[in-house]
Amino acid sequence: MKNKNPLYVVKGKNVMEAKNIFDLISKKLNLEPALEILTNILKLMLSGVTSYSGFVAVKTWFDSLMVKVFGLVTMYGAAKA
C-alpha cells in the first residue's frame, strides 16, 4: 500500500523516501552504517545468551548504550537550535 503522506530525505541531488521518522533521521544523519554495525553486534551478543542472567547483562549494556545515544542526539539537537 502506498503511503498517502510520505516523508522524503533530500541529500544534494538525491531524494529518498523514508518509511517512518526513525528512518528519516537515520538517513538524514547518515547513521545507516552505524545502525547496521550496532544491529550485528546486538545479534551476536544475543546469540550467545543461554540464561536469564545473560539476557539481563546484554539488556543492561544495550540500555546504557541507548541512554548515551539519546544524550548525544539531544546535545546535537540543542547545538543546532
So where are the chain's domains? 1-32, 42-81
- Read off the pLDDT band of 77 (50, 70, 90): low
pLDDT value for 3: 62
Torsion angle, CA of 32/70/22/42, rounded to 10 degrees?
50
Q: Is 71 exposed, middle or buried (0-12, 13-18, 19+ CB in 10 A)?
A: exposed
Between CA 57 and CA 78 the distance in angstroms is 32
- Give tens-digit pLDDT for 24-62: 888 888 888 988 998 999 999 999 999 999 999 999 999
Does the pLDDT of residue 81 top 70, yes or no? no
